[in-house]
Structures are given as structure tokens and as C-alpha cells.
Amino acid sequence: MPNSAAKVSSAYLTSDAMRNFLAALPSVMSEIYGDRPLVVFYGAGCRLHMDLCFKPMQWPLHLFKDFLTESLGQQIFEFGQADLLIESPDSNLQIVICHELDIHLDGTDDRAIGIIMAGFPDLDFRTAADWKTRPPQNVSPVPHMQG
């Protein structure tokens, strides 16, 4: 079962589905928070000295794709191997791109969580209680943004 500690978790995903989610995330975050930068942290499993993990890095939305491309290209972060943590500018939304190939949404910004869930219906985001009553499917299809 996906993460039961998070407010909301996706189904287990392919690396391509996670990559597509991250590619679309800046436009969704811009809709919610305007042009304010995301705060990103390399998490457990990243190929960095531990002293460099869990350090906040502010990334402007328009450069987030470059950050992700460089992190993957340098193998600092790899899907299914490490965690990448993303926070909203006000820290009221936390997104974890999990080493277990699911995505966790947490925090007090229920509006933002709802917008993300609605924007990515193919990722099968559910609450922990919903995961207990309806078990996950094997892998979710590649996500797409709804208009």
C-alpha cells in the first residue's frame, strides 16, 4: 500500500509517469502560488554526501525543469532509488517523490492538494483510508493534465 502516513498518496508509478508529473508540476504550482519559487530538498538515497541532503534549495518555477534534468543526468536523484522533497513557497504543501515510486502530498493547504489531485487523475491519488479500503493497482498510466 502507498504511504499511509501522508495525507494523500498516488498509486505506484512508472519512472516515466513520475517524470511527466514533475514536468507538469511548475505550471500547476504557478496556478496555485504564482511565480514564487519552489523549495526543493534532496532526500534519502540521493547520491550526495549526507551533509548535503535535506538542505533547502529555492528554485524558480521556470528553472525547475533544468534542476530536474541536471539532477537526473548527474544521477544525484534517480526514480525508485531516492526521495526528492518539494515544498510550496509558504511550506503549507509538501510533495515527496518517493523512492518507492509513489508520490505523497501532505500539509495544510487542502486547496493545493485538491488541485494537484484533480490535475492528475491518472495517478490515482487517494487518502490513507481510501488505500485501506481499495487496494492499489500495479502501475498507473502516464499522467496527463486536464484542461
Q: Tell me, yes or no, whether 96 lies in a domain.
A: yes
Total structural domains in the chain?
Answer: 1
d(CA 64, CA 58): 10
- Residue 102: HSE in the Cβ half-sphere, 13 Å Cα cutoff: 24
Q: How many CB atoms lie within 10 A of CB 93?
A: 25
Q: Tell me, yes or no, whether 53 lies in a domain.
A: yes
**Of residues 107, 114, 113, 110, the one with CA closest to residue 92:** 107
Given this model, what pLDDT does residue 73 score? 92
d(CA 60, CA 67): 10
Say whether pTM exceeds 0.95.
no
Q: Tell me, yes or no, whether 3 lies in a domain.
A: no
d(CA 70, CA 129): 36
d(CA 20, CA 41): 19
d(CA 117, CA 94): 13
pLDDT of 51-95, one tens digit each?
A: 999 999 999 988 988 998 899 999 999 999 999 999 999 999 999
Q: Tell me, yes or no, whether 12 lies in a domain.
A: yes
Q: Tell me, yes or no, whether 109 lies in a domain.
A: yes
Q: Please check the confidence at residue 19 and state whether its pLDDT lies above 80.
A: yes
Q: In terms of residue numbers, what domain contains 96?
A: 8-133
> At 111, which amino acid appears?
R
pLDDT of 106-146, one tens digit each?
A: 999 999 999 999 999 999 999 888 887 876 555 444 444 44
